[in-house]
Amino acid sequence: MGVLIIAAVAVVVPVVLGLLPKVPVPGAVLEVIAGIVIGPSVLGWVHIDVSIVVLSDLGLGMLLFLAGLEIDIDSLRGPLGRLAGVAFGGSAVLGAACAFALRLAGLVTQPLFLAIVLVSTSAGLLLPLLKDAAQEDTRFGQLVMTAAALAEVAPIMLLSLLFSATSKTAAARAASLAIFLALLVVSGLALGRVRQLPSLERLLNRLEDRSAQLRVRAALTIALAFGVLANRFGLASILGAFAAGLLVRIIDLSGHAPHPQFQTKLQGIGFGFLIPIFFIATGVQFDLRALLGNPTAIAEIPLFLAALLLVRGLPAILYARLVGHRRAVVAGLMQATTLTFVIVASQIGVADGQITPTTSASLLAAGLLSAALFPAAAMRLLAGEGPALEPTRLEDTG
């Protein structure tokens, strides 16, 4: 019954957004809020059971796989990648400073864990906004997505290495990660060679739209394989799913860029079924009563929200020379938007004893507010600027 109710909520949320197009809230935020409402904290209609856990875990894996599939590795190597990298370095310094300041204030006990959370950005929430604003192919849009991609890759790697790895020593954890990455590279080279076989290309094209759906099956099998592989090396399975998305993109399983139909089919499986279950189940597990009953936890929410804006937003001033000051502010607001990684990190942090359930609830609440407030403010600023001239050529940024 719980799965049916969650499925019904997953249908209602996009209907609400479709009927109220001016509501500036991503669907993921409404799905988490709806989960809180139907969960034990409010109505009590749904309680977590085995079937919901399984579907939610699959949804998380699919979400990370699609996030990896969206990342353009080439963009991380060019001038935009270098600029985004410098800004991310500034975020890392600010994140560590904020986390240790909160530790001195007695609000957190694991500053390194919090610092990793603070430097994250949810690229998956930003891409639809940039597309709606016709900015995804502009220099500004590419800069935002490059910075967001970097702020997804690095935190996932750090979280997997430092807090989800089961090895007891730092050297053993680093060795596990190095071996996993080496296997990823070897697999990529091998699959890339196989991918270039003309006979395979003909086979993929022939079975593209038949019941076999070979491209989709192969991609999902790769995702499962690397999720299992990461788990065997004592790393988070999310790292495997994310790496699989990158690998599928790199080996050109569907051409130089993901084939539109291929990507649409994967998104249909993910966003049409599994991923909403993950977000709604997250809301069902959210302990709203514990949060409201703890004044310290409530006070942490605006502090975490301000920390996100400072850590990810302030370094965007480095973009002003390239895109102008107004768009640098817009980019800062977008970079401070995070939700998916906060959910994942909070679950791992609670399981690993890095944070308490109430701190996890505070972080998730701050993530929800960042995803609800910052993109809306960014889009208003972007819409209010009118036609903007490109202030500086890309070559002038060095």
Instruction: Find tokens 């202030």 and name the residue.
Output: 391
Rounded mean pLDDT, 220-242: 82
Give the amino acid at 164. Answer: S
For residue 90, CA distances in Å to 83, 305, 311, 321 come to 11, 18, 8, 17
For residue 274, CA distances in Å to 66, 278, 311, 388 come to 12, 7, 31, 39
Alpha-carbon dihedral angle through residues 120, 345, 279, 94, given to the nearest 10 degrees:
-30
Contact between 149 and 75 under an 8 Å Cβ cutoff? The reply is yes
Res. 259 pLDDT band, cuts 50 70 90 = low
**pLDDT of 147 over the 70 cut:** yes
Contact between 362 and 174 under an 8 Å Cβ cutoff? The reply is no
Instruction: Report pLDDT digits (tens) over 168-201.
Output: 677 777 788 888 888 888 888 888 777 777 777 6
Give the amino acid at 375. Answer: P
Residues 122 and 70: their CA atoms lie apart, in Å, by 12
Give every CB contact of residue 388 below 8 A, 6+ residues apart in sequence. Answer: 324, 326, 327
Res. 394 pLDDT band, cuts 50 70 90 = very low
Give every CB contact of residue 10 below 8 A, 6+ residues apart in sequence. Answer: 31, 273, 276, 277, 280
Give every CB contact of residue 230 below 8 A, 6+ residues apart in sequence. Answer: 160, 180, 236, 237, 238, 239, 240, 243
Q: How far is CA 86 from the centre of its chain?
A: 20
Q: Please choose, from the candidates 216, 227, 225, 258, the residue with its C-alpha nearest in 3D space to the C-alpha of residue 69.
A: 258
**pLDDT of 303 over the 90 cut:** yes
Alpha-carbon dihedral angle through residues 239, 241, 245, 248, given to the nearest 10 degrees:
110
Quote the percentage of the chain above a pLDDT of 90. Answer: 33
Contact between 180 and 229 under an 8 Å Cβ cutoff? The reply is yes
- pTM tops 0.85: no
Residue 393, pLDDT score: 40
> Hey, what are 9's tokens?
């909520």
Contact between 255 and 316 under an 8 Å Cβ cutoff? The reply is no
Instruction: Report pLDDT digits (tens) over 4-62.
Output: 999 999 999 999 988 887 777 888 899 999 999 999 989 999 999 999 999 998 888 88
What secondary structure does DSSP assign to 88-127, as a single string? Answer: HHHHHHHHHHHHHHHHHTTS-S-HHHHHHHHT---HHHHH
Contact between 162 and 85 under an 8 Å Cβ cutoff? The reply is no
